[in-house]
Amino acid sequence: MRNKNFNIGVVTFKNPVFLASGPAGYGIEYRDLINLEKLGAVVTKTISLMPKEGNSGTRLQETESGLLNSIGLENVGARRFFDEKLPELLDAGAKPVVSLACEGKEEYLELLDITSKQDNVDVVELNLSCPNVEEGGMGVGTDPALLRWYIKEAKHILGGMAVLAKLTPNVGDISSLAVISEKAGADGITAINTLLGMDINLETGTPVFDRVVAGFSGPAIMPIALRAVWEIAKVVRIPVIGVGGISSIEDAGKFLAAGAAAVQVGTAIFYDPGLPERIVDSL
Domains of the chain: 6-282 (3.20.20.70)
Active site residues: 130
135 pLDDT more than 80: no
C-alpha span between 127 and 32 (Å, rounded): 27
Report the mean per-residue pLDDT for the chain.
94
15 pLDDT more than 70: yes
- 109-128 per-residue burial string, b: 16 or more CB within 10 A, e: under 16: ebbbebbbebeebbbbbbbb
C-alpha span between 259 and 189 (Å, rounded): 12
Average pLDDT score over residue span 248-258: 98
pTM attached to this predicted model: 0.95
| pLDDT tens per residue across span 177-231 | 999 999 999 999 999 999 999 999 999 999 999 999 999 999 999 999 999 999 9
Please check whether residue 193 is in contact with residue 166, taking contact to mean a CB–CB distance below 8 angstroms: yes
- 212-247 per-residue burial string, b: 16 or more CB within 10 A, e: under 16: ebbbbbbbbbbebbbbbbbbbbeebebbbbbbbbbb
Please report, for residues 33, 65, 277, the alpha-carbon distance to residue 272 in angstroms, rounded to integers and kept in the order given. 10, 15, 10
